[in-house]
A and B are shown apart, each in its own frame.
Chain A
Amino acid sequence: QKEVEQDPGPLSVPEGAIVSLNCTYSNSAFQYFMWYRQYSRKGPELLMYTYSSGNKEDGRFTAQVDKSSKYISLFIRDSQPSDSATYLCAMADNTNAGKSTFGDGTTLTVKP
């Protein structure tokens, strides 16, 4: 079983929809939780970073971490065609600094 499981997608939504992207994990030592966005033929870019549990909001994006359930989510409000990309969750613990474990990614298409 993989340490990080990500909802596989693909996901297609109309412009303006609220999008929920989700990952579950099995390693209770994970403390750092990241979401990366990857456009086609580009490298991933860091979108959201959260330490431990809780919510973090940045514009239309909200990251949620529930360590008790080992579940993280990324919400996108008022989705735009420019949000069409692959979203990767990533996690790390203190003992393996810098060695993040990634999910397989969820490909999102936002249709105008």
Chain B
Amino acid sequence: EADIYQTPRYLVIGTGKKITLECSQTMGHDKMYWYQQDPGMELHLIHYSYGVNSTEKGDLSSESTVSRIRTEHFPLTLESARPSHTSQYLCASSELGGRGANEKLFFGSGTQLSVL
């Protein structure tokens, strides 16, 4: 079944640790995104990718980095986690090209990150 998967679902970690949030999709989509969501607040785009070896920063400044070595995989890394990074991180994908195709986002279930 075509889907988008995020692991882990929940992560509690100490300050200063390096973490990687995993995201994989089996829909064959070219575009992938990372959003940050705090309770009651809008989604903020932090990274996106048009395809393999393409990565761009989003509207919200983030200390995280991403990579896109394979079409289906778009991991997000924090080199040194801090309490200010506590948030929900949502991965999404969409088709590339065609009117409106980019705007139909398919989201994973998210990773709730807590940094102590």
A-side residues, CB < 8 A to B, are: 2, 4, 32, 34, 36, 41-46, 49, 51, 88, 90, 92, 97-105
Contact = CB atoms under 8 A, between A and B. Distances in A.
Given A99-B59, A105-B40, A44 B103 contact: no
24 contacts: A2-B42, A32-B100, A34-B103, A34-B104, A36-B107, A41-B109, A41-B112, A42-B110, A43-B108, A44-B107, A46-B106, A49-B103, A51-B99, A88-B42, A90-B103, A92-B102, A97-B102, A97-B103, A98-B33, A100-B103, A101-B42, A102-B43, A104-B41, A105-B40
A50 to B, nearest CB: 9
A43 B107 contact: yes
Contacts of A36: 105, 107
Nearest to B58: A99
A56 B87 CA distance: 34
A51 B100 contact: yes
Given A42-B110, A101-B42, 14 more contacts: A32-B103, A34-B103, A36-B105, A45-B106, A45-B107, A46-B106, A49-B103, A92-B103, A97-B102, A97-B103, A99-B58, A100-B45, A100-B105, A105-B42
